[in-house]
Amino acid sequence: METMTKLTDEELVGLYIKGNNAAFNTLLNRYESKVFTYIMHFTKNQEVTEDLFQDTFMRVITTLRSGRYTEQQKFSSWLMRIAHNQAIDYIRQAKMATIVSDDETPAGCFNDARLADDNNIEQQMIQQQDWGQMESVIRQLPANQQEIIYMRYFEDLSFKEISQKLGCSINTALGRVRYALINMRKLVAQTDISMAS
């Protein structure tokens, strides 16, 4: 088992596909904390998180065993995408209320390079706040805005990477962040959390 931990994800996946269950256990041990924490950020519910965690790894097992897994992306990215989809599906099913809709606004108006800088306003807002307070605000956002905030800050993805994962344009990703910021400012004003301007 000691030697298993030294193998790459791709090597472990290959072994598991060939029938080595210990290889999957090594992958599970390697990622269970990260996956569980990630899902918990969305649900804030231990029982729901445990269910979604189990569903995530069941999908991984099913895909690997069926031979449908392709190594077009890193295993860890693929795994986190499955966890992400599980969490987002749960939020959508819970019918979280939308505050501001961005469905009818052209995203091009938010094509502002300042939004993509490392020192942009959302970066300052996140960095300057107690994460617990900010997280409670983020959880009140519409699902698609929560999704993009978590991708940007929890997964530390660029807007280009986010747009690729979501299958949308960079402008749309920027627009969703813009609407998320508008909503966060409204929520912050209601809860007396100080935010950078």
The gap from C-alpha 163 to its chain's centroid, in whole angstroms, comes to 13
Q: Which helix (H) or strand (E) holds 61?
A: helix 46-66
Question: Residue type for 41, please?
Answer: H
The whole-number average pLDDT for the span 115-129 is 47
- 89 contacts: CB under 8 Å, gap ≥ 6: none
> 């344009």: which residue's tokens?
169
Q: What is the pLDDT of residue 71?
A: 72
- Which among 86, 33, 91, 40 is positioned nearest to 60, based on CA atoms? 86
Region(s) of the chain under CATH 1.10.10.10: 107-191
Q: What is the pLDDT of residue 27?
A: 93
107-191 CATH pick, 3.40.640.10, 1.10.1670.10, 1.20.950.20, 1.10.10.10: 1.10.10.10
Decide: pTM greater than 0.75: no
- Which among 77, 10, 85 is positioned nearest to 55, based on CA atoms? 85
The whole-number average pLDDT for the span 96-125 is 46
CATH fold, domain 4-93, is Rna Polymerase Sigma Factor; Chain: A (1.10.1740)
> 């890193």: which residue's tokens?
74
Q: What is the pLDDT of residue 180?
A: 79
Q: What is the mean pLDDT of the chain?
A: 75
Region(s) of the chain under CATH 1.10.1740.10: 4-93
Q: What is the pLDDT of residue 107?
A: 46
Instruction: Please give the structure tokens belonging to residue 192.
Output: 């007396």
Question: Residue type for 108, please?
Answer: G
